A = this chain, B = another copy of it.
Amino acid sequence: MTKTTGVGRPRASGAAASKREARLAVLDAAGELFTGAGYAATTTRAIAERAGLRQASLYYHFPSKEDILAALLEDTVRPSLDVAGGLSAEHAPVGTRLWALAYADIHLLGSARHNLGALYLLPEISSPRLARFRAERAELKRVYGALVAAAGVPGDLSGIRTDLVFGLVESIAIVRRDRPDLDVEAHAVEGADSVLRLAGLGEPDAGLRASARSLLES
């Protein structure tokens, strides 16, 4: 459903645009309340109020509070999965690809408007409605694991080392909580350097970082 406004390309209709805006307003309000007041303490009524919608409109987009949590958490993983997919097509060295993925991932978790990584430890994560989030996060971890193995970490250690690498990346949620004034860019650079150290790839230099950044731009 589109309408044309004089000359130029057809645009999304007002109705479609406002549906999209309503969905985003719900996600933003929920992110703020879940990380601030807590998931269990937040009602869908409070989310609708903060988003400036009637509760019926909220239910149109999300049948339950867990569906909102699922959508929020999927958004913390999917952009990094997209980066991982793009990197797999490149013939860059494994260290460059691992640095690029860790840098992008820490940046995403560190710069999101709300500290959504803090929600990863909720008991509700094991709910059936969160299955897609769990599967996508497991797929992202599998990509880290493949890069850690390709870096030369022996098979019997690559599982634990991947746990440590993934834990280091996700620990940005704890750091954000402790340091409201966090310098995300500096933390992402040091974090990606540290991931390479954990993978046994030694000290990254400026050339590797520059190559990794241009992989991300391509």
Residues of A within 8 A of B (CB): 35-41, 118-125, 157, 160-161, 163-164, 166-168, 170-175, 177-179, 183, 186-187, 190-191, 194, 197-198
Contact status B190-A160, CB under 8 Å: yes
Residue of B nearest to A171 (CB): B167
Which residue of the partner chain B has the closest CB to A120? B174
In the complex, are the beta carbons of A164 and B191 less than 8 A apart?
Answer: yes
Copies of this protein in the assembly total: 2
Q: How distant is the Cα of A194 from the Cα of B196 in the complex, in angstroms?
A: 11
Residue of B whose beta carbon sits closest to that of A187: B160
Q: A122-B38, A186-B160, A197-B197 are in contact. Are A174 and B167 (CB under 8 A)?
A: yes
Chain B: CB-nearest residue to A157: B190
- Expressed in whole angstroms, the minimum distance between the Cβ of A162 and any Cβ of chain B is 10
CA distance A15 to B124 in the complex (A): 40
Query: Is B157 within 8 A of A164, CB to CB?
Result: no
Contact partners of A41 in chain B: CB under 8 A: 40, 123
Residues of B near A122 (CB, < 8 A) are: 38
Contact A194 B187 (CB under 8 A): no
Contacts known (A35-B123, A197-B197); A164 close to B171, Cβ less than 8 A: yes
Q: Which residue of chain B has the shortest Cβ distance to A182 in the bound complex?
A: B163
Give the residues in chain B near A125, CB-CB below 8 Å. Answer: 177
What residues of B have a CB within 8 angstroms of the CB of A35 in the complex?
A: 123
Residues of B near A190 (CB, < 8 A) are 157, 160-161, 164
The answer to whether A38 and B174 have CB atoms under 8 Å apart is: no
> What distance in Å separates the Cβ of A200 from its nearest Cβ neighbour in chain B?
8
- Nearest residue (CB) in B for A134 is B178
Q: Which residues of B contact A39 (CB under 8 A)?
A: 38, 40
- Complex Cα distance, B186 from A195, in Å, reads 19
Nearest 9 pairs between A and B by C-beta?
A: A167-B171, A40-B40, A118-B121, A197-B197, A160-B190, A38-B123, A163-B175, A171-B171, A40-B41
The closest CB in chain B to the CB of A115 belongs to: B121
CA separation between A161 and B190, bound complex, in Å? 7
